[in-house]
Structure 1
């Protein structure tokens, strides 16, 4: 018998995780119960063979090894307390942005085993970045199970200092938007250089995708890969003189990430 999981919330992120777990064989449908108040979203989840409920009160005698909260931060205080009675047997995982472990300890009890997860939107296609922080009550085997489960949605790593979640949010949580904007800008630059719009968009998108894959799979440092593309006095060098001159791009990104980190701190208060 596999571990039993209750997924609370099956909107875009919750549904993406559910599909990933089932497709990768991390969980069997019989081992998953989805709690989702929206009838359409609940029906969508049910098509995968999992058990469904509209609210915690409908669960009856259902038990779980893991309760995963995939709900918006603003409803945490309304939703979470209903699962406090499972604290003796279940661990809890939250993918609610900006909600500290201390909030869950307040709602579920100081002895509750809680893991906070910061995912990003590429998790919806199995290419996400998930960063975990576990409180002192989480056992090693539980953390290993959660990490294995989440690898169906992408790469997983952990931090030991929860305050670093604000930096995680600023780099990988918000990071996809920075890359999307870079694609927008590279597309616009291609159009200005004379390329048709669709061609410029394809070139920009595929170039970013290919470069990211090469950086991930080659084992080379990004700086080394950049050097391999850059011939002295060539076209790439001319462009990098603009981007790297006076550390323009580096300074811009450092400032952007710091602005996002500060805002994350403010939202978490």
Structure 2
């Protein structure tokens, strides 16, 4: 169990999801605090988690052992300018998109204990997928603590920083692709005669159940699970053939690569 006081810099939706995951895993709200210059964001965070939102950055960081940096990249410099003198000796965990470990090191004034994270929006319902990497100065204990935090709202995996652009293209942007697919499934159901509400429910549950099937039967390749649904000359065989005619798989692959390339571009700015 984590014993460190955790200070959230930024109290938006992702920060709230992470804090709520920690509370649901047994971390007392009193062990958490947050600072956000937006009174509305701070109020929502406090109502969601039961944690205190402080009036100043300094107050939030004062007794914290872990700082979870959840600020949008365009506001990162200003936030670090205010936080820098209070970061000494603390573990910094950043979910700010596009900020590399070298950039975080520079912005933070050279602290060594840094963890960079790429989460995704299903964290909002406790089913996130987060990948993380540590700076050279991050200890094994630091990495373990990061894993405990990230696993409180879904699955997590440690990867080299060189893979984070690919991670962004897949799991970071992936929820948007999956939601597009759910919308398309539902539209197909409506076209075939289903009412809209039923079509959306059927589509969403089908995607959810299929994903769970892959995760629960980890030793079976998704292709094996797919083939179990396809009967020779049957309805599914014809449907899959229609997907192939539309270059479904290659289009999804191109989307992942395009998003990964854009992530790399943003990281250089």
Same fold (TM over 0.5): yes
Paired with 1:54 and 1:221, the residues of 2 have a C-alpha distance of 51
Partner residue, 2:83: 83
Partner residue, 2:132: 132
Partner residue, 1:92: 92
- Name the stretch that deviates more: 133-142 or 27-36: 27-36
Paired with 1:201 and 1:2, the residues of 2 have a C-alpha distance of 43
Q: 1:59 to 1:182 in 2, by over 3 A?
A: closer
Can you list the C-alpha shifts for 1:119-142, whole angstroms capped at 9, x where unaligned?
100001110000101110000011
Give TM-score, length-normalised by structure 1. Answer: 0.92
Does residue 262 of structure 1 match 2:255? Answer: no
Partner residue, 2:33: 33
After TM superposition, what 4+ stretches of structure 1 lie above 6 angstroms from structure 2?
none
Q: 1:134 to 1:5 in 2, by over 3 A?
A: same
Partner residue, 2:206: 207
Paired with 2:113 and 2:130, the residues of 1 have a C-alpha distance of 18
For structure 1, the residue ranges without an aligned partner over 5 or more in a row are none
Q: Is the 8 A contact 2:87 2:108 kept in 1?
A: yes
Q: 1:150 to 1:12 in 2, by over 3 A?
A: same
Q: Is the 8 A contact 1:112 1:137 kept in 2?
A: yes
For structure 2, the residue ranges without an aligned partner over 5 or more in a row are none
Partner residue, 2:187: 188
Question: 1:142-161 counterparts in 2 under 5 A?
Answer: 142-160=142-160
Partner residue, 2:8: 7
Question: 1:234-245 counterparts in 2 under 5 A?
Answer: 234-244=234-244
Q: Is the 8 A contact 1:130 1:150 kept in 2?
A: yes
Secondary structure of the structure 1 residue equivalent to 2:138: coil
Partner residue, 2:122: 122
- Aligned pairs, number: 265
Paired with 2:109 and 2:72, the residues of 1 have a C-alpha distance of 21
Paired with 1:100 and 1:182, the residues of 2 have a C-alpha distance of 31
Does residue 65 of structure 1 match 2:46? Answer: no
Q: Is the 8 A contact 1:150 1:156 kept in 2?
A: yes
Paired with 1:243 and 1:41, the residues of 2 have a C-alpha distance of 43
Q: Is the 8 A contact 1:34 1:52 kept in 2?
A: yes
Q: 1:49 to 1:190 in 2, by over 3 A?
A: closer
RMSD of Structure 2 on Structure 1 (CA): 1.9
Q: Is the 8 A contact 1:64 1:89 kept in 2?
A: no
